[in-house]
Amino acid sequence: MPGIAGIVDFKQDGASTDTQIRRMVKILNHTSPAEEEIYIAKHAAIGAVRLKVYSLQNLVAEDTNTAITFWGYLWDQEDLKKRTGLNFQNMGDVSAGNLLLTLYNKEGIDGLCNLNGRFVIAIWNKREKVLNLINDRYGFCKLFYWVTPQRILFASEYKAIVWHEDFPKKIDQQGLADFMALGYSTQDRTFFVNIKLLPPASVATFKSDGNLSIKKYWDYSFHSEDDPLWLEEDYVDQFAEMLAKATQRQIDPNKSIALPLSGGLDSRTLAGVLDRLDFKGEVKAFSYGNQCAYDVAYGRNIAKNVGYEHGFIPIESTYLRDQAERFVWLLEGTVNCLNAHMLLTYPFIRENSLDSIMTGFFGDIICGSWSHFYSLGVHGGTDDEGIIKSQYALHADIMKDKDMAVYMKDSIYQTVRGKTFETLRSRYFQCPSRNRYFRSRYFSTLERQRQYTSFNLHVFDFVAEVASPFLDCDFVDFIYHVPSELMIFQNLYRKMIVKYLPKVASVPHNETKLPLNVSWIRKGLQWRWEGLIRNPLIRATIGRRYAKMNDNYLNTHEAIKTGSRDFVEKSVRNNEFLAQFFKIERVNELLDNHLSGKAHEPSKITALLTLALWSKMFVENEKPTFK
């Protein structure tokens, strides 16, 4: 993966540091074609890996006092030109390392925190022998670290750290429990006790005394009574203007764009915004799933309406067998391999020589969708504890507490019991707003979006530049200061699409099966049609085509039972690593019930499969077998 790595060791000389940083960078360089950059001093070394298609150049730079390395995306070019005094036409025309070094020398650490982008930065102060690590305010560029007395190793992927001969591979039981409940580990945890994830909006400082301190420099803010109020129509207009500006900052007409499309709101919105901006570059849209999935049918129609070529990527029942190992290796077990179908997009991107990909990541959470997560128990409610319990019941969508008691070993269950819930609860009350709607979104923003859903960014970082307009800092600041009553159930979002993006508003939404700009007459006809289609005779005659349509674009349930069956069984049944933490007879029973059709448990099985594959690669050091 493109990213950064480094080591500071006050006990070792330059030769040892040299050897270690080159190995770390080489481990990060597993997606070709890529380039490496390295800086080496007596007790410190930093490096970066970049894809050759990546616009920014020279990610490592130094002057008399400082060495710096960077990876990520910087979106406000005009602001950077003004603040640094450097004159350049495009970001690709300037050394990214020198640009940030200039900014650092002018504004210090605060200047690097105040950047519009998704990034990680490491700064080595040669004179004071101090290392600073900085990430973007949302933490959507991951940075892992391992600290021992007078030594720190850090990297964008922790596979570049765990190879170290001194690294203790002690498993974090709470990290495993979080994963089995939510699908991701919470806070700064990983599956290893000694590997930590840098929290969002952080400046971590490591000094020669061996101490690491972490300072939070920013937090989300939400609409308050002190904010100015506009008419709803004004918010709609600002929504469209701010998102268009955010998109314009991230696109380059000289680069081609891969555009994933589904029947949801986020991807269609970006298709509509690109069309509204009259983007002159090449755009190739695609959808994945099965031919009868609403996501595929509606994605195809959206592409047609805005004039983009559309490709279909089928997800076969063998997708776990073919892609799960690579997915776990790339994302290091941080994401359930149920989502390994995302790797099926790689051939499409490469075969079409696409330089970048634009994703709708973060749109769902900040623009008011996933409404069932954030409004359940909020409407008319004043009981915070009741709301938290309702939220947790929805977030813990792999294993509930009663499931953990069944499958985890008793001694481990008693150790981790209730702690994942307490993390959600503490996040709820940490929210800098007393509005229960915003509090209900805060946990997901800090945890689910950063630790899990962001794989929609990371999985594409390996093959192309990633544009993500919904992450633009100005847009996020605007949208989170819209009154909550306008955001629930995506009301403002939908109205913006209908008013400003009519070409994509006319395509049905995969939840309602109706266009966003649908008339009341059409709504009534749809209701009657839904009633008719339940009739077997209608389904078998004039409704045959409609009856084949479905919401299940990713049929993991069948994949486990058919095309990927042998692979899943071999990996999970009687797995020695799983047996250390789970009652293996219960795991085997779970697998048997699913394979026989007695149960429907794809999320539980793929979560266990993820752990089994992860342990083979990262605990047992078995080299991945995929090509």
> Of 190, 216, 242, which residue sits at a domain end?
216
pLDDT tens readout for residues 204-215: 999 988 889 999
Of all residues in the chain, the percent with pLDDT exceeding 90 is 75
Asked, for residue 227, whether it belongs to a domain, the answer is no
Asked, for residue 221, whether it belongs to a domain, the answer is no
- pLDDT category at 444 given cuts 50, 70, 90 is confident
Higher local confidence (pLDDT), 621 or 371: 621
Asked, for residue 624, whether it belongs to a domain, the answer is no
Most confident of 43-57, 188-202, 223-237: 188-202
Spatial CA neighbour of 397 closest among 448, 449, 446, 441: 448
Average pLDDT over residues 146-152: 93
How high is the pLDDT of residue 85? 92
From residue 156, alpha-carbon distances to 33, 51, 133, 621 in Å are 18, 14, 12, 19
- Structural domain span for residue 421: 371-450
How high is the pLDDT of residue 299? 96
- pLDDT category at 627 given cuts 50, 70, 90 is low
Asked, for residue 551, whether it belongs to a domain, the answer is no
Q: What is the CATH number of the domain that holds 9?
A: 3.60.20.10
The span from the first CA to the last CA of the chain, in angstroms, equals: 16
Give alpha helix (H) positions in 354-409. 363-366, 371-375, 384-395, 401-407
Lowest pLDDT segment from 55-59, 216-220, 398-402, 547-551: 547-551
pLDDT tens readout for residues 459-482: 999 999 999 999 999 999 999 999
Number of domains in the chain: 5
Do 301 and 397 share a domain, yes or no?
A: no
Quote the CA–CA distance of 179 and 337 in Å, as a whole number. Answer: 12
Residue 397: pLDDT over 70 = yes
> Of 166, 192, 216, which residue sits at a domain end?
216
Give alpha helix (H) positions in 533-627. 536-540, 544-548, 556-561, 565-572, 576-581, 584-596, 602-614
pLDDT tens readout for residues 81-103: 999 999 888 888 889 999 999 99
Average pLDDT over residues 593-608: 95
Kindly give, in sequence order, each residue whose CB lies less than 8 Å from that of residue 559, ignoring residues fewer than 6 positions away. Answer: 316, 317, 318, 319, 320, 602
Eight-class DSSP state of 91: G
Do 263 and 170 share a domain, yes or no?
A: no
pLDDT tens readout for residues 297-316: 999 999 999 999 999 999 99
Asked, for residue 225, whether it belongs to a domain, the answer is no
From residue 149, alpha-carbon distances to 8, 16, 45, 152, 206 in Å are 11, 17, 17, 8, 11
pLDDT tens readout for residues 226-254: 888 899 999 999 999 999 999 999 999 88
- pLDDT category at 379 given cuts 50, 70, 90 is low
Do 104 and 164 share a domain, yes or no?
A: yes
How high is the pLDDT of residue 575? 97
Do 290 and 388 share a domain, yes or no?
A: no
Residue 403: pLDDT over 60 = yes
Do 499 and 560 share a domain, yes or no?
A: no
If you count them, how many residues does the chain have? 627
Quote the CA–CA distance of 486 and 492 in Å, as a whole number. Answer: 6
Asked, for residue 269, whether it belongs to a domain, the answer is yes
CA dihedral 70, 72, 77, 82 (to 10 degrees): -30
Do 15 and 115 share a domain, yes or no?
A: yes
Asked, for residue 173, whether it belongs to a domain, the answer is yes
Answer yes or no: are the C-beta atoms of 286 and 312 closer than 8 Å: yes
Do 82 and 32 share a domain, yes or no?
A: yes
How high is the pLDDT of residue 277? 97
Do 286 and 327 share a domain, yes or no?
A: yes
Answer yes or no: are the C-beta atoms of 39 and 97 closer than 8 Å: no
Answer yes or no: are the C-beta atoms of 293 and 551 closer than 8 Å: yes
Quote the CA–CA distance of 488 and 269 in Å, as a whole number. Answer: 18
Q: What is the CATH number of the domain that holds 506?
A: 3.40.50.620
Lowest pLDDT segment from 285-299, 310-324, 510-524: 510-524
Asked, for residue 483, whether it belongs to a domain, the answer is yes
Quote the CA–CA distance of 494 and 555 in Å, as a whole number. Answer: 29
Do 355 and 375 share a domain, yes or no?
A: no
Do 465 and 341 share a domain, yes or no?
A: yes
- pLDDT category at 137 given cuts 50, 70, 90 is very high
- pLDDT category at 295 given cuts 50, 70, 90 is very high
Quote the CA–CA distance of 156 and 145 in Å, as a whole number. Answer: 9
Residue 372: pLDDT over 60 = no
Answer yes or no: are the C-beta atoms of 137 and 114 closer than 8 Å: no
> Of 495, 523, 546, which residue sits at a domain end?
546
Tokens of 516: 């966003």
- pLDDT category at 524 given cuts 50, 70, 90 is low
Higher local confidence (pLDDT), 377 or 71: 71
Residue 367: pLDDT over 70 = yes
Residue 322: pLDDT over 60 = yes
How high is the pLDDT of residue 543? 57
- pLDDT category at 545 given cuts 50, 70, 90 is low
Average pLDDT over residues 391-408: 92
pLDDT tens readout for residues 414-431: 999 999 999 999 999 999
Do 346 and 251 share a domain, yes or no?
A: yes
Of all residues in the chain, the percent with pLDDT exceeding 70 is 92
Q: How many alpha carbons fall within 13 Å on the CB side of residue 431?
A: 27
Do 445 and 459 share a domain, yes or no?
A: no
